[in-house]
Amino acid sequence: MVPTGPYGTWPSPIGAALAASHDGQPDHLGIVGDEVWWTAPRPAEGGRRTLMRRRPDGHEDAVLPAPWNVRSRVMEYGGLPWAGTGRADGGPLIVFVHFPDQRLYAYEPDLPGARPRPLTPTASVGGGLRWADPRLRIEQGEVWCVLEEFTGEAPTDVRRVIAAVPLDGSAADDRGAVRELSDDRHRFVTGPKVSPDGRHAAWIAWDHPRMPWDATVVMLGEVTEGGPFTQVRTVVGEADESVCQVDWAPDGSLLFVSDRANWWELRRIRPAGAAPGHAAALCPGRGEEFGGPLWKIGSQWFHPLDNGLVAVVHGRGTTALGILDPETGELVDAAGPWSEWAATLAVCGDRVIGVAASPRSAYEIVELDTRTGRTRVIGSAHDDPVDPAYYPEPQIRTFTGPDNREIHAHIYPPHSPDRVAPDDELPPYVIWAHGGPTGRAALVLDLEIAYFTSRGIGVAEVDYGGSTGYGRAYRERLREQWGVVDVEDCAAVAEALADEGTADPRRLAIRGGSAGGWTAAASLATTSVYACGTIIYPVLDLLSWASGETHDFESQYLESLVGPLAEVPGRYRERSPLTHVDGITAPFLLLQGLDDVICPPAQSERFLAQMAGRGVPHAYIAFEGEGHGFRRVETMVRALEAELSLYTQVFGITRSDIPALEFRK
């Protein structure tokens, strides 16, 4: 007989330290020689990211010891931070961005006594010089990449161009030795993709106030000897078309992913006579995404193979890895249990390598042999840290919201092999609002979710209107409706769970980080659905955020999410939780990184000042050394335990195994 215990009181082997130590995932795949390389998180080492290699015998090595941290700050969210190739003598040559100083370094790890050597200078103006999406050009003795250069102290005093950095180190102390390949006619650019014959380069560009999921263009330029690109022109892109990736096929045609027909679909043009608008979809009519939001430069949803086939990450809500024949449109998916493939791919001959996860496994490096169709895990293999019986069993659900609109969600009921709840008790549930808001919840094993469900607290991840993965129309439901549609959709899921008898209507909470923190705060301020909430590095004051209090990339994001500031300034005040603190009566926990430049602590501090003396129990924990997204084990442990303490105190759950959260009023 399984013992009975009230929801929320169940014992669990999934502690906060265990969940924190497994936070993060492998990313940024590449092929160096015949080896697979990638970046990997190290939460216990100050949250740095290291570079890993898989040797031919299958052994995995960390290439860079602490304190080296392979991570770019371009657009603050970063992007592809490294590139590598085999040298003439067979050893690897690596270039990478080191997070603390954002310089580009070169490293030959197999040479005795070798150490990373700087390739780029530092700069004292604003955020200095930053680099991302590098492409090695060994024959030219250069690495081509995106340069983000600050021209003043304000976060919006910045320009971005494609630049060539000498591999000999001559630019390490000389900005003038960096050769600019593109001009700065566009505010944002990705790294260049060079055609098979070496004559052309293609890249994606866009400008304020549009975000890359609103409208981008594909630029094409001719490569010259020692000079900038010439004959630069736009070959793809319209006012309402988002292109999220571009690359070359072996035959010299240009492949790109565009949402001109609602879904991000793979298309092809031949640049010689190309005009905007003339490109057929290679796999039309599936009602699926073959791309995603370009939050990070260098994201990759497809990769051409030498035989003309194309590896693609595609799906609706969830994703799969497939092999597409662009001539016939035939698409064959890789076999396996994985429900989510990250936007990073590498190809080595007939092998396609990706990063994939499932509801029963964390992200791991997976290889598909396209000749045999066989898949296997080759790196960062998932190893259950506890009995999988403690993992939740997710349900993919579709709910009905206002105006009969569909709302997609993943429901994780409480689950433990050690306890069952009394028959007359309904479980508490926490509604999770993802960040972005142009993002979505991945259907994968998340030990933070299991931390709660294994203790008897349910979790519902809501892909509210505005989420990606369901077509452009679904994504644009949030246009000028941020703080309305997201709040309504989360509340609709919470109320539906209560109405159907799945959740206790008196013990509902909401939680989110970044844009999800905004939704959590706005929900507490404008609805009475939730008994409490957890607000993590949020946006709380729209007017200040739109007036210089965030970084350049998102500095005009609210023009589409809320409306043009010059035309509807009142809407910015009306929507902000800061304006509606008198509507907040439920207890809350506010978590903030003190080094956050995206949602800075000033937002939280003004909000707390308004809440002071109102009699609403709340707690504030600020973390030194943390930015936008917590990365350190000790931070994540304290945050998780504080969040659980909030729920136990508000929901009337008795636990003695976590520190009690102290409230102020």
Q: Note the pLDDT tens digit of each residue in 584-638.
A: 999 999 999 999 999 999 999 999 999 999 999 999 999 999 999 999 999 999 9
- Per-residue pLDDT tens for 312-331? 999 999 999 999 999 999 99
Residue 56 has pLDDT above 70, yes or no: yes
CA 409 – CA 407 distance, rounded (Å): 7
Identify whether the C-beta of residue 493 lies closer than 8 Å to the C-beta of residue 510. Answer: no
Residue 461: strand, helix, or coil: strand
Q: What is the pLDDT of residue 90?
A: 76
CA 351 – CA 28 distance, rounded (Å): 17
Residues 6+ positions from 189 with CB-CB distance below 8 Å: 146, 160, 161, 162, 182, 203, 204, 205, 219
> Cis link prior to 209 (omega < 30° from 0)?
yes
Query: Does an H or E element contain 24, and which?
Result: none
Beta bridge partners of residue 203, listed in sequence order: 219
- Would you place residue 277 in the very low, low, confident or very high pLDDT band (cuts 50, 70, 90)? very low
Burial class (CB in 10 A: 0-12, 13-18, 19+), 327: exposed
Identify whether the C-beta of residue 259 lies closer than 8 Å to the C-beta of residue 469. Answer: no
Give the other-Cβ count within 10 Å of 547's Cβ.
13
Residues 6+ positions from 603 with CB-CB distance below 8 Å: 538, 539, 540, 541, 544, 545, 549, 578
Q: What one-character-per-residue DSSP string does 148-180 give?
A: EEE-SSSTT-EEEEEEEEETTSTTTT-GGGSEE
Q: What is the Rg, in whole angstroms, of the alpha carbon atoms belonging to the chain?
A: 25
Residue 280 has pLDDT above 90, yes or no: no
- Per-residue pLDDT tens for 200-250? 999 999 999 999 999 999 999 999 998 899 999 999 988 899 999 999 999
Cα–Cα distances (Å) from 534 to 74, 588, 592, in that order, read 29, 6, 11
CA 167 – CA 120 distance, rounded (Å): 10
CATH architecture assigned to 388-651: 3-Layer(aba) Sandwich (3.40)
Question: Residue 302 has which token pair?
Answer: 């497809």
In terms of residues, how long is the chain? 665
DSSP 664: B
The closest alpha carbon to 492, from 398, 412, 576, 395, belongs to 398
Average pLDDT value for residue range 261-287: 82
Q: What is the pLDDT of residue 278?
A: 63
The closest alpha carbon to 603, from 534, 542, 647, belongs to 542
Give the other-Cβ count within 10 Å of 481's Cβ.
18
Percent of the chain exceeding pLDDT 70 equals 99
For tokens 């990211």, name the residue: 49
Q: Is the dihedral of CA 346, 358, 292, 512 positive or negative?
A: negative
Residue 562: strand, helix, or coil: coil
Edge-first strand listing for the sheet containing 142-150:
129-137, 142-150, 158-166, 179-180
Q: What is the pLDDT of residue 276?
A: 46
Query: What average pLDDT does the chain have?
Result: 96
Residue type, 205: A
Q: What is the pLDDT of residue 1?
A: 86
Q: What is the pLDDT of residue 87?
A: 81
φ, ψ of residue 569 to 5 degrees: the values are: -60, -30
Percent of the chain exceeding pLDDT 90 equals 96
CA 485 – CA 243 distance, rounded (Å): 25
Average pLDDT value for residue range 392-408: 97
CA 63 – CA 53 distance, rounded (Å): 7
Q: Is the dihedral of CA 446, 448, 453, 459 positive or negative?
A: negative
Give the other-Cβ count within 10 Å of 299's Cβ.
24
Domain definitions of the chain by residue range: 388-651
Q: What is the pLDDT of residue 270?
A: 80
Average pLDDT value for residue range 120-146: 96
Identify whether the C-beta of residue 153 lies closer than 8 Å to the C-beta of residue 125. Answer: yes
- Per-residue pLDDT tens for 448-506? 999 999 999 999 999 999 999 999 999 999 999 999 999 999 999 999 999 999 999 99
Q: What is the pLDDT of residue 523?
A: 98
Q: What is the pLDDT of residue 273?
A: 53
